[in-house]
Structure 1
């Protein structure tokens, strides 16, 4: 990046008050994603006083309420746990001689975010790494990289909101956190065979995918919503699914599945404040020729039907996509890996509600170093963009131009 970033030596931030230990059992959904690192980058235009020290202090206070985040993964008799050891999280303060990251911020993530030393998090690694970078223009960034075992996107957004509240002088977070599966209420259940499949697929890293920062225009989204009566996510997912399929798959008979994430908290009645993993990822199966050539409304309807099937099944606390032997094998996934598009949304998770003293972020960026297959994330509204900002790792270099051309033609 054009700015020169100077990082301090990493330090360990501990909870500001001592407490006892104990273990947190992982749910089956936690186990599916244990060890997978994810980064959220929050960009703030408006300065605050000494952002590095302010956020570092607030982080220490937040860990009192979110003690599992200061712990470590542990394997006890083959079962994964979070051991609340109080070993703390890694923190780096940094300064940058330039303006805030441009639109292509995700391409420079290594300068402004800490990353784990290996592709997947090890048991000995902290469950959270945080870097706060102050830019000479006065703005700053907050980058949180975490082990997916401890929280999903909704949960990490809740934690960052709590850090902001404590940094602004609130005595306690406005949301009482819950991490114990036993206290959470209903949670989705993934069969052991599917857990094993998910964990095996995590090791099928594709490092030849290009990071792209694209915008799906509001004019297009509104037209699809009005015509087909759908949500913003359904419209954006249908657009990405068709454009990418046209760009990368030449065989009309080849499978071109879509995977998307469904937050199940409100549908299962999970206790407010639960920040562990509580979502499912159904697969929508369709042939490439169908996806490439049908009306966009037909794709919207396929996505709607898949969502309805998942929600109908939540009364049993069971994931529709994992039922009745429907879980694909690792070999099947491996053969289809580049054909499958995973789409998620961070738009309603709460990352844009994090406020460290002078308002919400102007931009939220998703990043992952390790993806098994193509992935797109719709991010919260980005200042200055007339549409939904999508950060993606979904095409190989040879398919970039075709993918962007398809998006432009919509």
Structure 2
């Protein structure tokens, strides 16, 4: 195994002021693994990565605090690039990720350390597997940006590897000021963020130290035909998206998992670019959340309808501007304690982000497309989850970090059968999903 520091070909210096959405994810890192059925050339990958960093210097930067605000300093500090070998096959490696044993594939960014400038904001690990396949693990600090930002960078890396022009991203030096100038004049008057009190903060730290490592990842795959039947059933009164029905469908099961809990608050992450007419090339966390109350005994149809109505009226209820005003008043101490209003350290709430539809299966190197892409769930808080594309963009995989008790409750044959009541025996389920997720 070897590691080198990949730096931009042409170093530049700039400092980017983070916004409220960045502060909310300041202690989170995201880890994606791309599998290729080919042994990729690591020298060529490293060279093209350096070229892509010229356009996206944030990934090679470091965090800092200046004038009471969280910032990303871009001075070409570099991205650790690790090359490794394994005796495991692609299927064995994918199985380890599905079983929460896939950490060996990832050189993970330490989000807490990096948040205070003590480490890199992005790491890449390339693992050559025994069957001449390759795994590329891409880990980035969430403060750099959201999934759309990450995919803009991955597409730039692909273009650099092919010697093609790279689409110019929109980097702004003051994200908060840019959004204030470009968001619609209408918006929510109530912030969607709050600051943890001392007791809540202590409880959260204790959970991170004691219980977070015991969390398990629930992964449920829904095929295309299965989702279509859900939409036809739940959407008989209004048009519903696949994201809304899958999320509502699983949340119905989540509410049945713990008889002691009658209410939770579902937070749905929304890409503000799409809903508020912002530039799709804008780099950063251009997202916020919509909250939907969940009640025991409530059916999935009503939950899906409420999700859809909230998303349809998003522009009028977008809270990004008022969130920024709230944190500006709270100062640096507020940034450290900032959480979504849906977060409750005494009782976990689901917070789901949609990571599907970004084209992960269009990523390719050396004329070889991604054969499987998965998220390594290393979230420190129970209830954080994501919707990701199935193999070749077919179907959806719902993943959520859960405490052991709720995980076990949702893994019983009875619950699994109820969760897949819209599946038919002859549905076309990709073989890899059958192996990994049943």
**TM norm. shorter chain > 0.5:** yes
Shift of 1:192: 8.3
Q: 1:308 to 1:393 in 2, by over 3 A?
A: same
Q: Could you say which residue in structure 1 is the equivalent of 2:18?
A: 26
* Larger deviation, residues 75-84 vs 391-400: 391-400
Shift of 1:258: 1.3
Q: 1:220 to 1:67 in 2, by over 3 A?
A: same
Q: 1:118 to 1:235 in 2, by over 3 A?
A: closer
C-alpha contact (below 8 Å) 1:99/1:135 kept by paired residues: yes
Q: Could you say which residue in structure 1 is the equivalent of 2:33?
A: 41
Structure 1 position 336 matched with structure 2 position 344: no
Structure 1 position 142 matched with structure 2 position 136: yes
Structure 1 position 152 matched with structure 2 position 146: yes
Shift of 1:273: 1.2
Q: 1:357 to 1:396 in 2, by over 3 A?
A: same
Secondary structure of the corresponding residue to residue 224 of structure 1: helix
- The total of aligned residue pairs comes to 386
Shift of 1:58: 1.1
TM-score (norm 1): 0.83
Cα separation, 2, equivalents of 1:157 and 1:374 = 24
Shift of 1:91: 1.2
Shift of 1:193: 8.8
Alignment partner of 1:215 out of 215, 221, 236:
221
Structure 1 position 360 matched with structure 2 position 357: no
Give unmatched runs, 5+ long, in structure 2. Answer: 327-337, 422-438
C-alpha contact (below 8 Å) 2:63/2:70 kept by paired residues: yes
Q: Could you say which residue in structure 2 is the equivalent of 1:256?
A: 264
Structure 1 position 194 matched with structure 2 position 184: no
Alignment partner of 2:278 out of 266, 270, 280:
270
Secondary structure of the corresponding residue to residue 18 of structure 1: coil
Secondary structure of the corresponding residue to residue 271 of structure 1: coil
Shift of 1:232: 1.0
Secondary structure of the corresponding residue to residue 136 of structure 2: strand
Please list, as runs of the form range in 1=range in 2, the aligned pairs for 1:69-80 lying within 5 A after superposition.
69-80=59-70
Shift of 1:379: 1.3
Cα separation, 2, equivalents of 1:328 and 1:386 = 33
Cα distance per residue 1:76-112 (max 9 Å; x no partner): 1321111112111111011222311234424232111
Shift of 1:397: 4.5
Cα separation, 2, equivalents of 1:386 and 1:329 = 31
Please list, as runs of the form range in 1=range in 2, the aligned pairs for 1:123-138 lying within 5 A after superposition.
123-138=117-132
Secondary structure of the corresponding residue to residue 261 of structure 1: strand
Q: 1:378 to 1:202 in 2, by over 3 A?
A: farther
Q: Could you say which residue in structure 2 is the equivalent of 1:349?
A: 358
RMSD over aligned Cα atoms: 3.3
Give unmatched runs, 5+ long, in structure 1. Answer: 1-6
Structure 1 position 376 matched with structure 2 position 385: yes
C-alpha contact (below 8 Å) 1:251/1:288 kept by paired residues: no
Cα separation, 1, equivalents of 2:249 and 2:4 = 43
Structure 1 position 407 matched with structure 2 position 416: yes
C-alpha contact (below 8 Å) 1:36/1:120 kept by paired residues: no
Secondary structure of the corresponding residue to residue 213 of structure 2: coil
Shift of 1:330: 7.7
Q: Could you say which residue in structure 1 is the equivalent of 2:56?
A: 66
Shift of 1:283: 1.7
Secondary structure of the corresponding residue to residue 250 of structure 1: coil
Cα separation, 1, equivalents of 2:140 and 2:401 = 19
Cα distance per residue 1:124-153 (max 9 Å; x no partner): 211101111121312211111111111111
C-alpha contact (below 8 Å) 2:27/2:112 kept by paired residues: no
Q: Could you say which residue in structure 1 is the equivalent of 2:247?
A: 237
Cα separation, 1, equivalents of 2:317 and 2:77 = 39
Q: Could you say which residue in structure 2 is the equivalent of 1:304?
A: 308
Please list, as runs of the form range in 1=range in 2, the aligned pairs for 1:273-284 lying within 5 A after superposition.
273-284=281-292
C-alpha contact (below 8 Å) 2:193/2:341 kept by paired residues: no
C-alpha contact (below 8 Å) 1:94/1:134 kept by paired residues: yes
Cα separation, 1, equivalents of 2:151 and 2:363 = 7
Cα separation, 2, equivalents of 1:236 and 1:335 = 26
Secondary structure of the corresponding residue to residue 280 of structure 2: coil
C-alpha contact (below 8 Å) 1:104/1:213 kept by paired residues: no
